[in-house]
Amino acid sequence: MSVGKEVRMSRIRGDDGKILMVAMDHAAIGGPMHYLEDPSRAIAAVMKGSPDSLLLTRGMLRHGWQALAARAGIVMRISGGFTILEGAQEFRDRVISTVEDALRWGADGVAVTVKFGHELEGEFIKAASTVADACDRWEVPLLLEAMVALRGTSGLAEDEALAVAARSAAELGADLVKIKYPSKTGNLAEVARGCPVPVLVLGGEKAADDMVLEMVSQAMRDGASGVAMGRNVWQRDDPERFLARLQSAMGRS
């Protein structure tokens, strides 16, 4: 990894090399979701729990940057281009901004999504590859969210399909891969073992505390480097308390 990427990555991850990232990029798709109505207040509540970094949209950053702690890394989502009004099943994710613009906004990294197995998989891959080229030019870490369409698994088991997606994301140039935890097998080891860059597990819809914390503990044992969670953090009345428990589940004292 280049010096520029290393410097920026050091702001995204913790001193122990693990990453606790809170994803707060949901309002661009879901609108003024509960707890995200006021970006500054939402970010301030999360900052009390000392995450390593935040995954933000341009709007969340514009309206909430003053609540950011100086130590927090910023990863800006530069893909999207659809809302719940279009229909979640469509998932026409598009690259809607640039690496250069993310740098102008003060971001340390950028994030895009590829939905592997989707009928538009090739278009997603091409767009992500172009972003990866720009990230290399500007020495900016790329977080690639690797999603898997169930109809595109080609008969593979869930963990096998996720392993293909994670490795493909790394092959495209991702420096970090954000991926779903295999809910059927409860084993991320194959995914982590076959991916040469750090793997972060996402949280998905809000679930019971103990269920989320056990998943994170197991993911870390399986080889994950951390988490990139949103609703399971900021949709709680006390995100600071939950983040403390999440830090512990990640093996931090």
pLDDT tens digits for 164-187?
A: 999 999 999 999 999 999 987 778
pLDDT tens digits for 223-236?
A: 999 999 999 999 99
Q: How far apart are the C-alpha atoms of 111 and 177, rounded to whole Å?
A: 10
106, pLDDT greater than 90: yes
Quick one: average pLDDT of 102-117?
96
pLDDT of residue 92: 78
pLDDT of residue 81: 86
Quick one: average pLDDT of 109-126?
93
87, pLDDT greater than 70: no
Q: How far apart are the C-alpha atoms of 58 and 184, rounded to whole Å?
A: 35
Q: Which residues have CB under 8 Å from 159's CB, separation 6+?
A: 182, 184, 185, 187, 188, 190, 191
Q: How confident is the model at residue 151 (pLDDT cuts 50, 70, 90)?
A: low
pLDDT of residue 153: 60
pLDDT of residue 16: 96
Q: State which amino acid sits at residue 232.
A: N
89, pLDDT greater than 90: no
pLDDT of residue 166: 97
Domain ranges of the chain: 3-249
* Distance between first and last Cα of the chain: 29
pLDDT of residue 86: 77
Q: What percent of the chain has pLDDT over 90?
A: 82
The answer to whether the CB of 203 falls within 8 A of the CB of 230 is yes
Q: How far is CA 98 from CA 135, 228, 246, 251, in A?
A: 9, 21, 32, 35
The answer to whether the CB of 124 falls within 8 A of the CB of 93 is yes
Instruction: Domain 3-249: give its CATH code.
Output: 3.20.20.70
Query: Tokens for 241?
Result: 């308390």
Partners of residue 144 on adjacent β-strands: 112, 177
152, pLDDT greater than 70: no
Q: What percent of the chain has pLDDT over 70?
A: 96
Query: Tokens for 68?
Result: 């950011």
The answer to whether the CB of 73 falls within 8 A of the CB of 54 is yes
Please tell me which residue, 117 or 98, carries the higher pLDDT value: 98
Q: How confident is the model at residue 88 (pLDDT cuts 50, 70, 90)?
A: low
pLDDT tens digits for 17-31?
A: 999 999 999 999 899
pLDDT tens digits for 63-77?
A: 999 999 888 999 999
